Amino acid sequence: MKRSRLADRYCSIARSGTELTDAWFFMILREVFLANMRFDGLQAQTGMPPRSLALHLNDLVDAGILKRAAYQQSPARYPSASDASKERISMELRHLRCFLAVAEELHFARAAERLHIEQSPLSRAIKELEEELDTKLFLRTTRSTRLTHAGRLFLEHVPRVFIALQQARDSVKAVANGFRSQLRMALSDGISPSRFSSFLALCRQEEPEVEIRLSEVSLAQQIKGLHEDLYDAGFAQSDEVGDGIVATQAWSDPLMVAVPARHPILSHKRIPLEELLRYPLVLCDPQACEGHARQVERFLRQTGTEPLVAEQVTSCDLMMALVAAGFALGLTGESNIAACRESGVIGRPLAGCCPVLTTYLLRSTREPSVTLVRFIERVQTIQPAEGV
């Protein structure tokens, strides 16, 4: 099939990589198209990728140089831009990193700054990802950027990709460092540091060849991660974990009152609940320490009196700092108060039947590995020695 001189000139320039003006390009491509060449032949002659060629043919239609009816007469020969896009683009980690940054920042400029790239390649990566998924992930205006429903669903899954990738890297590094196997453990609710550190020391003593990887997450994230096999097991202060998760009591800690030095309530060797409820309290935040907060709330509501909560904190360290400053009374486990580095904090037990904070070992109902079975057995052996 003969081509025009213009078409020959285009093919020569296309192969050289020289950029063309839009007008020059349209004239050349029109001549090539009017030669009635098949799409595969057109691609071979121009050396253009399928996606780029299809996009340029669509540009001819949009510009009115080529009639859409003629373009649509042979769809098998001339694929649409979206079809060529799907053929050309494959989802890569860079697309997911860009999506995650924009989804979390909801601002393209800030997301680009976070990724240390220009905004233009970021926008291009999001566009490629949306073409690959054949749906819009963001609603973008001059004033705001919002996730679509599809974008919100996608955001639920993307972080798991990077968690799984990091775990794979960690597993390889563990083997390279001489470990035989690995346990992925999740920690929630600010569990007792002294008890947990003693347990870890026992694990290292009995099975030094097993690496234990720790992740601090919320209770909801731990439960979700156990279901999705992101963690082998975890510790939390709640046994309200739903179906598919087994909760086994690990250890218990007496619930005590953290009192500022020279506070009038120190006249009680054991503090009655009614007396405690007369004063402002600083408690653990129910979002950050869900299990801990549930157990404390159940105890405080025994009398039916609403507690006066002055502050909610995300860590026991901050709770102890506020107590030492005389801000309020604190309520937490005995070991947390014992580990407190604040000199102005005194621990007092509660009157009556001493309440406890219980820590549970959580795991999936799936068949545990041999390494996890030994880990569970080790938890069960320390309970009689350290339980209350």
Residue 342's pLDDT is what?
A: 79
Q: What angle do CA 225, 226, 230 make, to 5 degrees?
A: 55
Using only C-alpha atoms, what is the Rg of the chain? Answer: 32
DSSP element (H, E) containing 360: strand 356-364
Give the CA diameter of the chain: 105
* Six-digit token string for 48: 């253009």
Place of tokens 């309290």: 281
Structure confidence by residue, pLDDT tens digits, 114-142:
999 999 989 999 999 999 899 999 998 88
Structure confidence by residue, pLDDT tens digits, 331-350:
999 988 988 877 889 999 99
Distance of CA 357 to CAs 200, 235, 299, Å?
Answer: 20, 13, 10
Structure confidence by residue, pLDDT tens digits, 192-205:
767 788 888 889 89
- Residue 325's pLDDT band (cuts 50, 70, 90): very high
Residue 24's pLDDT is what?
A: 41
Alpha carbon 227 to its chain's center: 15
- Residue 281's pLDDT band (cuts 50, 70, 90): very high
Q: How far apart are CA 165 and CA 172, in angstroms?
A: 11
For residues 56 and 109, which has the higher predicted lDDT (pLDDT)? Answer: 109
Q: How far apart are CA 261 and CA 325, in angstroms?
A: 9
Q: With H, G, I as helix, E, B as strand and everything else as coil, classify residue 378.
A: helix
**pLDDT above 50 for 282:** yes
58-62, 99-103, 296-300, 361-365: least confident range: 58-62
Residue 362's pLDDT is what?
A: 96
Average pLDDT over residues 301-326: 90
pTM above 0.75, yes or no: no
Cβ 324 vs Cβ 344: under 8 Å: yes
* Six-digit token string for 3: 């081509």
Average pLDDT over residues 16-35: 46
